[in-house]
Structure 1
Amino acid sequence: MKEIVFIKRNSEKWKKIEDALNGHVRISPDELYNLYVGLNDDYSYARTFYPTGESSAYLNQLTIRVHQQIYRNKKIKKNQFAQFWKTDYPLLLYKNQKYFWYAFTIFVLSILIGVVSTAADPDFPRLILGDSYVNMTLDNIESGDPMAVYKKAQEMDMFLGITINNIRVAFYAFIAGVLFSFGSGLILLSNGIMLGCFQYFFYQHGLLGESILTIYIHGTLELFSIVMAGAAGLAIGNSILFPGTYKRLVSFQRGAVIGLKMVSGVVPLFIVAGFLEGFITRHTEFPNSIRITIIVASLAFIVWYFFRYPKTIHLKLSSNGKDF
């Protein structure tokens, strides 16, 4: 590659770094570090192929400046935790929302597969949910308590067990993204088919409404978090498949950081969902108004914090001439 082509291809990225160093735009410390990693890669390339060229000298100076900036600001701010939830995480979601919609699409299509398969084959639930679970549920239906499965364990044991298991599944979905997104997609497919099969099974027994009012007390937050974990895995897979101007390893490192933050951000949702499943879902005697309120409140929070609020923050910063 000729040096002029190399400069032209990367000049926009370098200008962004200069603007950040000069205070013209604002970027997070993590993004500055990611840019620094890519800048080091560019500098190594220039030093190898254009050792006496202007790009090598320029990148050397720019790399030194970024290094000094990073380590000058290494001290953790007291409000960094609050800053993460208030600004950094919402902006991360806004910039990477495409991965959520990819994961959501896979999940919805998987639910439809589960519904259609159950409608076509009455034995499909036994294949997906297992004979023991289906038999237990049929016994519960006959005894007049179809949701008794949520009442068997002690509240605290159920809360801890479900929360830990859900967080483990979420990180599996995230880590599976290293298999070129296939692993994360497979986990979303499996969970979606299971959900579609499960819901249609209750529909066949005239219990769709009761199942929704019971399951989605905790399931609203839980299922959204699983989809977000799958999205985090897709972010990793996409960084490997489509590295852009970065070397594949550097692109993977960037994708891993983005994905890890995405999945870490839903851990609190898993904790709340686990609490609801352990302590609230079991109370099927609660009035429908209370159950509907919990479901609607959970959905409203998701829509606001994960979609509307990130857009608001982005527009606010853009209007102030800032860029993250």
Structure 2
Amino acid sequence: MDLDAFSDVHRGEWERLKQLSARRRLDGAESDELVRLYQTVATHLSTLRSSAPDPVLVSELSQTLNRARTTIAGAHEPAWRDVKTFVLVSLPAAFYRLRWWVVAVTLACLLLAVVSGVWVATTPQGLAAVGPPSYREEYVESAFASYYDPGAGFAAVVWTNNAWIAAQCVAFGITGIWPVYMLVQNFVMVGAIGGMMAHYGELGMFLQLITPHGLLELTSILVAGAAGLKIFWTLVSPGPRPRGRAVAEEGRSLFTVAVGLVATLALSGLVEGFVTGSSLVWWIKIVIGALALAVFWVYVLVLGQRAVTQGATGDLDEERAGSVQQVAG
């Protein structure tokens, strides 16, 4: 197909469709003309996609049709259907596609935390690196437990802090360096605190206080780190897709993950704010935390697998993302 000739022949219809779509009011004849041109231009777009998928022209016609569709059907209002699709399809699909990255990052970070904890608990050098004796004793005897002050204010502070950590992993994930730095920093610190508590015979208290909220909280941070590293790897190795397209698609999925992490971190913040420091029996606190984590993984593995099987990726649909150039493979 000669794209220039095709464009010259039909440019008038495309421009007329743009003009009608931009008008606030149409009479009966103009409304009929708008619908007819919409159908005609949709046929043109289909022809271009199958015969000569020029990305610039395809994108132009897609945007023209989107505006015309809005004029014909009325402005799109957020509907419960959109929310349902996001919660039950897009978000679990985006999480599910990260599952093996999360597993790999989790194993590496747990190993790092254990090594850090053992070093602090068993060596004078490791213990000294945490702080002077007066600081360590005060932290173990009172500061660690008193930190978990039940209440909405504490829950909000916790959520804000963790959301900021996750946001950095997401926003700077493409660097490949910042997510690693954030994960190493956080898990070395967790391991070191656990090692210090163990050295002073308070490992049980450490586990009782960190487990209820930490199961979901640390998982959320790990997911954020995995998402950041995945988009970095997409930049390095985009596969059969053009590099720009691959990064754009994974980037949009990444922000779907980021929205989901707002919810998971909010839930872990509520557990930390109202359960961890409460007067409940310690095993009930841990059961609550374990249930929160179990709900998350059931959501990801059950709904996510179903959504991915149906073709969902967590990316925007074509109407919102825009058309892209087709590639073989």
State the TM-score, normalizing by the size of structure 1: 0.68
Give the Cα separation in 2 of the matches to 1:207 and 1:93: 36
Matched residue of 1:266: which SS? helix
Match for 2:292: what amino acid?
S
Query: Shift in Å at residue 222 of structure 1?
Result: 0.8
In the alignment, residue 107 of structure 2 is paired with which amino acid? T
User: 1: CA distance between counterparts of 2:297 and 2:83?
Assistant: 22
Q: Do 1:103 and 1:234's aligned partners in 2 also have CA atoms closer than 8 Å?
A: no
Q: CA deviation at 1:238?
A: 1.3
Are 1:242 and 2:237 counterparts? yes
CA distance in 2, matches of 1:188, 1:135: 27
For the residue of structure 2 that corresponds to 1:59, the secondary structure is coil
Q: Which amino acid aligns with 2:76?
A: K
Whole-angstrom CA distance in 2 between matches of 1:80 and 1:132: 56
Shift of 1:236: 2.0
Change (3 A) 1:288 1:80: same
| Residue identity opposite 1:295 in structure 2 | G
The higher-RCO structure (CA 8 Å, 6+ apart) is 2
- Aligned partners of 1:128, 1:302: CA distance in 2, in Å? 34
Q: Residue 235 of structure 1 contacts residue 258 of structure 1 at CA under 8 Å; is this kept in 2?
A: no
Match of 1:215 among 207, 210, 215: 210
Q: Which amino acid aligns with 1:156?
A: A
Matched with 2:221 is 226
Q: Of residues 196, 205, 209 in structure 1, which corresponds to 2:200?
A: 205
Using the TM superposition, give the Cα deviation of residue 132 of structure 1 relative to its aligned residue in structure 2, in angstroms: 7.8
Specify every segment of 5 or more residues in structure 1 that has no aligned partner in the other structure, as ranges. 1-53, 319-323
Q: What SS does the aligned partner of 2:272 have?
A: helix
Larger CA deviation: 109-118 vs 263-272: 109-118
The answer as to whether partners of 1:202 and 1:211 remain within 8 angstroms in 2 is yes
Distance 1:156 1:63, change over 3 A: closer
Give the conservation status (yes or no) of the 8 Å contact 2:271–2:289.
no
Match of 1:18 in 2: none
* Equivalence for 1:304: 298
Q: Which residue number in structure 1 is paired with residue 326 of structure 2?
A: none
1:191 alignment counterpart: 186
| TM-score normalised by the chain length of structure 2 | 0.67
User: How far did 1:204 drift?
Assistant: 2.6
Corresponding residue of 2:152: 156
**Contact 1:228/1:263 (<8 A) preserved:** no
Q: Contact (CA 8 Å) 1:235, 1:256: kept in 2 or not?
A: no
Taking only the aligned residue pairs, the percentage that are identical comes to 21
The equivalent of 1:25 in structure 2 is none
Equivalences for 1:1-324 in 2 at 5 Å?
57-60=51-54, 72=69, 75=76, 78=79, 79-125=81-127, 127=129, 134-140=136-142, 147-151=145-149, 155-179=151-175, 181-283=176-278, 285-315=279-309, 317=310
Residue 106 of structure 1 contacts residue 188 of structure 1 at CA under 8 Å; is this kept in 2?
A: no
Letter in 2 for 1:136: E
Cα deviation for residue 294 of structure 1 reads 0.9
Offset of residue 76 of structure 1 = 5.2
Q: Shift in Å at residue 255 of structure 1?
A: 2.6
User: How far apart are residue 150 of structure 1 and its match?
Assistant: 1.7
How far apart are 1:121 and its partner, in Å? 2.5
Deviation at 1:120, TM superposition (A): 4.3
3-state SS in 2 of match to 1:150: coil
Deviation of the 1:159 alpha carbon: 1.8
CA drift of 1:162 comes to 1.5
Matches of 2:239 and 2:299 in 1, distance apart?
A: 30
Between Structure 1 and Structure 2, how many residues are aligned? 257
Separation in 2 of the partners of 1:171 and 1:129? 29
CA–CA separation in structure 2 for the residues paired with 1:314 and 1:226 = 23
Structure of higher CA gyration radius: 2
> Residue 239 of structure 1: CA displacement?
2.0
Rounded Cα–Cα distance in structure 2 between residues aligned with 1:165 and 1:130: 26
